[in-house]
């Protein structure tokens, strides 16, 4: 398709073309490891499925179209995608990362890549000056997660991307929480965008998959080389499920955002709730940045009950009936999580608490059910 599609059409048609064999409307699940050649090297662009697979290509084109990118790359998980980014660097290279980030991302950087000589500075990026303070001639990457998980801080992508450009450091954004519907970091100056497509993109809690997008041809080649060499690729079935999920991304995120706003307001007015972290509040410290770089505020929020002790919060998450207590986020169903003991348990308590992840904190992934049922469920659990 030649014409640049608007987002709500690109979710359905972006980068896709009718299947050449039988005109199948959905890309077929090419469940094959290898491809017939007429003569050595005589093939149609596909030789072996670690390197390329047509179902994966369809997904890589789809995410590129949604992020206004030139290239997409698909991986077995969000962490496999991040692992590939980090393998671009050499011992002695430095990275500046958001301090409040997905626990698995923190673990990959500190427990795997520090061992290979990467030096990582974790900083609060609410103020871009704190990034500037750590920039030096060894800085190769600035890793941004925004909104942050689970504190819902918002980082000014354009401001930090400008700092990176000045220092020839790549700027990568983990866009999992926002999804490309709410935020398109390459347009704000980022070089790499990562998705745990496991979450909003696939959207139905039935697939684990990771994605990267970039514009730069040389960077794409380096990442594809690592992707093929290290082999953290997804199977065609998972690519198909992600493509299917993406077709409804725009309407799902609209509803996630509406429900998220209603739940945030309900909690904020509840006498037994101490604090609600949601970037849509006008008094959220980064509200203006959120408003300028995001289309809406999404379905993620966190809160602390009055008292903020472990027992009260555990009691609430155990009493929830419609919200499922589970890791993960971004599916059609509502989930509740307890970061200190679940998603962020791999971050030491002292480090965790410095960024606000206290034992009482509860994180919600607000789904697309009837919001009144969700509010009634929270109300009975809070008591
Ligand atoms: C889940 C998640 C990841 C990791 O993705 P997987 O698909 O689970 O490997 C990375 N970043 C964020 C923000 C996440 O929520």
**pLDDT by residue (tens digit) across 78-92?**
999 999 999 999 999
pLDDT of residue 294: 98
**Candidate from 176, 195, 232, 300 with most ligand 1 atoms within 8 A of CB, to mutate:** 176
CA 185 / ligand 1 centre spacing (Å): 17
Structure-block tokens of residue 91: 């011992």
User: Where exactly does CATH 3.40.640.10 map onto the chain?
Assistant: 7-246
User: For residue range 270-284, what is the model confidence (pLDDT) as tens digits?
Assistant: 999 999 999 999 999
Tokens encoding 119: 């030096």
Please give the pLDDT value at position 166: 84
Instruction: Tell me the pLDDT tens digit for each residue of 170-195.
Output: 999 999 999 999 999 999 999 999 99
Residue 110: predicted pLDDT: 96
Residue 223 has pLDDT above 90, yes or no: yes
pLDDT level of residue 234 (50, 70, 90 thresholds): very high
Write down the pLDDT at residue 352. Answer: 87
Residue 240 has phi, psi (to 5 degrees) of -60, -45
pTM of the predicted protein model: 0.96
The pLDDT mean for the chain works out to 95
For 317-353, letters b (16+ CB in 10 Å) and e give beebebbbbeebbbbeebbbbbbbebbbeebeeeebe
Q: What are phi and psi of 310, to 5 degrees?
A: -60, -45
pLDDT at 149 over 90: no
| HSE-up of residue 323 (Cα within 13 Å, Cβ side) | 31
**372: CB partners within 8 A, 6+ apart:** none
Query: What percentage of the chain carries pLDDT values higher than 70?
Result: 99
Cis peptide upstream of residue 200 (ω within 30 degrees of 0): no
Structural tokens at position 261? 């706003």
Report, as an integer, the average pLDDT of 140-147. 98
**Whether the CB of 105 sits within 6 Å of ligand 1:** yes
pLDDT of residue 344: 84
Report the number of secondary-structure helices (H) and strands (E) in the chain. Answer: 14, 12
CATH architecture of 7-246: 3-Layer(aba) Sandwich (3.40)
At 264, which helix (H) or strand (E)? helix 249-269
Taking CA atoms only, the protein residue closest to ligand 1 atom 5 is: 78
Measured in Å, residue 310 CA sits from the centre of ligand 1 at 25
Q: Is the CB of 220 under 6 A from ligand 1?
A: no
CB count within 10 Å of CB 309 equals: 14
Q: Which CATH architecture has domain 249-382?
A: Alpha-Beta Complex (3.90)
Average pLDDT over residues 150-165: 96
Calculate Rg over the CA atoms of the chain.
21
Residue 356 pLDDT > 90: no
Phi, psi (deg, nearest 5) at residue 335: -125, 150
| Interval 40-44 mean pLDDT | 88
**In the chain, which segments carry CATH 3.90.1150.10?**
249-382
Check if 98 has its Cβ closer than 6 Å to any atom of ligand 1: no
Residue 102 falls in the annotated catalytic set: yes
- Whether the Cβ atoms of residue 313 and residue 338 lie closer than 8 Å to each other: yes
Residue 2 scores a pLDDT above 70: no
pLDDT digit string, tens, across residues 50-69? 999 999 999 999 999 999 99
Q: pLDDT for 296-310, tens place per residue?
A: 999 999 999 998 889
CA distances from 326 to 184, 213, 364 (A): 28, 28, 10
Catalytic-residue membership of 181: no
């Amino acid at each position: 398709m030649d014409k640049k599609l608007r987002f709500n059409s690109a979710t359905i048609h972006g980068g896709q073309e009718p299947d050449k064999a039988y005109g199948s409307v959905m890309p077929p699940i090419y469940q094959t490891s290898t491809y017939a050649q007429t003569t050595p090297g005589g093939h149609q662009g596909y030789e072996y499925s670690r390197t390329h697979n047509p179902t994966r290509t369809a997904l890589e084109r789809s995410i590129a179209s949604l992020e206004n990118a030139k290239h997409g790359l698909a991986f077995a998980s969000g962490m496999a995608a991040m692992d590939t980014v980090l393998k671009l660097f050499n011992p002695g290279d430095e990275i500046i990362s958001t301090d409040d980030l997905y626990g698995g991302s923190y673990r990959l950087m500190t427990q795997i890549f520090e061992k290979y000589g990467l030096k990582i500075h974790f900083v609060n990026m609410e103020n871009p000056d704190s990034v500037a303070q750590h920039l030096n001639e060894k800085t190769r990457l600035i890793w941004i997660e925004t909104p942050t998980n689970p504190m819902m801080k918002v980082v000014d992508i354009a401001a930090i991307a400008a700092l990176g450009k000045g220092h020839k450091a790549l700027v990568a954004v983990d866009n999992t929480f926002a999804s490309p519907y709410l935020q398109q970091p390459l347009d704000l100056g980022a070089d790499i965008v990562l998705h745990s497509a496991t979450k909003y993109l696939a959207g139905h809690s039935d697939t684990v998959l990771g994605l990267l997008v970039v514009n730069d041809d040389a960077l794409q080649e380096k990442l594809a080389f690592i992707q093929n060499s290290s082999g953290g690729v997804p199977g065609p079935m998972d690519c198909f499920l992600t493509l299917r999920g993406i077709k409804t991304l725009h309407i799902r995120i609209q509803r996630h955002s509406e429900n998220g706003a209603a739940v945030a307001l309900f909690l904020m007015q509840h006498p037994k709730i101490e604090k609600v972290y949601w970037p849509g509040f006008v008094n959220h410290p980064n509200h203006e940045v959120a408003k300028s770089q995001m289309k809406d505020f999404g379905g993620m929020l966190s809160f602390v009950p009055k008292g903020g002790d472990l027992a009260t919060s555990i009691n609430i998450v155990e009493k929830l009936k419609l919200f499922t207590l589970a890791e993960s986020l971004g599916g059609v169903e509502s989930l509740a999580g307890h970061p200190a003991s679940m998603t962020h348990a791999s971050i030491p308590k002292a480090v965790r608490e410095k960024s606000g992840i206290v034992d009482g904190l509860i994180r919600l992934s607000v789904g697309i059910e009837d919001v009144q049922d969700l509010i009634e469920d929270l109300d009975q659990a809070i008591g």
